[in-house]
Copies of this chain bind each other. A is one copy, B any other.
Amino acid sequence: MAPLTLLDRLLLLAELFQRDMAREYDGTPLSPARVGVLWNLHHRGPLAQHELATALDVTPRNITGLVDALEQHGYVVRVPHPTDRRARVVELTPSGRAVTERTAREHAELSETLLLAVDPADRAALERGLDAVTATVRELMAEAEASGRAS
């Protein structure tokens, strides 16, 4: 059997995270895409819908649906934009904030657990390596997008 390449390892881990995420909110009104909205609001504060669309890299139509669902279940509210009467600003409710705070807490714990699993002598190299890989992936995606746009 061929040994696992670096890409194999990374894709495997990405798939595990994705699978885990998809099950996390099973049976609740939440889902990975909806939590993505909450997570952005948690980190950046109230945002207009088009800002969410840009941040999540989806169409504005999509945001309408996600915010509809989140608002219906009480996690966010739409408030008028202070200066632009076309726009609607999305804000976390206390219930939404409870979700993001719980998620943040769980992330911190998981990060701790994962770090402890790595040999202390390997930790710095692991972080450096991941950063190098991430930077390269970003470059490749930017190039692909540029050439795609050109065609």
Contacts and interface: CB of A to CB of B under 8 A. Distances in A.
Interface of A: 5-14, 16-20, 23, 57, 107-108, 110-111, 113-115, 117-119, 121-123, 125-138, 140-141, 144
Given A9-B130, A122-B128, A128-B122, A20 B135 contact: no
How many copies, total?
2
A112 B5 CA distance: 9
A148 to B, nearest CB: 8
9 contacts: A5-B108, A6-B111, A9-B131, A16-B134, A20-B144, A117-B132, A119-B129, A122-B129, A125-B125
Given A13-B137, A16-B138, 6 more contacts: A10-B17, A11-B17, A114-B137, A118-B129, A118-B133, A122-B128
Contacts of A57: 19
Of A8, A19, A119, A134, chain B has the most CB atoms within 10 Å of the CB of A134
A106 to B, nearest CB: 10
A10 to B, nearest CB: 6
Contact of A140 (B10, B107, B113, B144): B113
